[in-house]
Chains A and B, each alone.
Chain A
Amino acid sequence: MNMVASVIIPTHNRCASLKRMLENLGEQSFPQQNFEVIVVADGCKDDTANTVKNYKASFHLLLFELPGLGAASARNKGAAQANGRYLVFVDDDMELSPNFIEEHIASHKNENDIVIGYSPLQLEPKAGTQRMTLREWWEDKFHAMRDQRYRFRYDDLTSGNFSISNSLFKKVSGFDTSLLCREDYELGYRLIKAGANFYFCHKAKAIHRDEVTNLKRSLQRKKSEGIADMQIKAKHPDFVNRNALHYLNYGSFSKRILLRAIGFAPSLFDLLAGFGITLMNYFERFGMKPRWSKMNYRLHEYWYLRGLIISAGSVKRVYCIMKCEEFMPTPNQKLKIDLKDGLKTAEQQLDNVRPLGLEISFGTKLIGIVNYEAGTEPIKGVHLRKILKDRFSEELASVLLPEVFPASVS
Chain B
Amino acid sequence: MPKVVKDIELTNMPAVIDDLNEYDGAFLLLRYKNRPVGKITLPAKNGMIVLADHKDEIERAVEKNLKYAVIDRFLFWDEAEKFSHSDTSATIAICTRNRTDDLKLCLEALMKLPDRGQEILVVDNDPLTDDTRKLVEQYAKVRYVFEKRKGLNIARNRAIAEALNDIVVFTDDDAVVDKQWLDNIVRNFDSPLVMCVTGMTMPFELETEAQEAFENYSSFGKGFYKKRYSFAESNPLATGGVGAGANMAIRKSLVKDTGWFDEALDSGTPTQSGGDHEFFARILLAGYQIIYDPEALSWHRHRRSWKEAVKAIYGYGVGVYAFWTRLFFIEKQYAILFFTKNWLLYNQLPDFYKSILGIKKIPISFFFAEFRGCLKGPFAYFKSRKQATNYLKKQDG
Contacts and interface: CB of A to CB of B under 8 A. Distances in A.
- Say whether A and B bind each other: yes
Interface string A376-401: 00000000010011000110110011
Contacts of B72: 389
Given A127-B287, A148-B82, A388-B75, A409 B236 contact: no
Contacts of A397: 67-68, 70-71
Interface in B327-343: 327, 331-336
B193 A136 contact: yes
A146 B194 CA distance: 15
A136 B71 contact: no
A393 B52 contact: no
A384 to B, nearest CB: 9
A139 interface: yes
Majority secondary structure, A binding face = helix
Contacts of B70: 397, 400-401, 404
Nearest to B191: A143
A400 B69 CA distance: 11
A286 B335 contact: yes
Contact of B230 (A136, A148, A394): A136
Interface in B319-359: 327, 331-336
Interface string A52-92: 00000000000000000000000000000000000000000
A409 B52 contact: yes
B192 interface: yes
A333 B53 CA distance: 51
Contacts of A290: 235
A132 B286 contact: yes
Contact of A393 (B32, B71, B193): B71
Given A132-B286, A146-B82, A405 B334 contact: no
B11 to A, nearest CB: 5
Given A137-B232, A148-B82, A405-B59, A400 B334 contact: no
Nearest to B334: A286
B137 interface: no
B257 to A, nearest CB: 8
Interface string A197-239: 0000000000000000000000000000000000000000000
A139 B77 contact: no
A407 interface: yes
A299 to B, nearest CB: 15
Contacts of B235: 289-290
Nearest to B289: A136
Given A385-B75, A393-B71, A404 B66 contact: yes
Nearest to B79: A147
Given A148-B82, A287-B237, A136 B75 contact: no
Given A123-B287, A385-B76, A288 B335 contact: yes
Contacts of A20: none
29 contacts: A123-B287, A136-B193, A136-B230, A136-B289, A137-B232, A139-B193, A143-B191, A146-B83, A148-B81, A148-B83, A149-B82, A285-B332, A287-B327, A287-B331, A287-B336, A289-B236, A293-B233, A343-B75, A385-B75, A389-B71, A397-B68, A397-B70, A400-B70, A401-B70, A404-B66, A407-B11, A408-B13, A409-B13, A409-B51
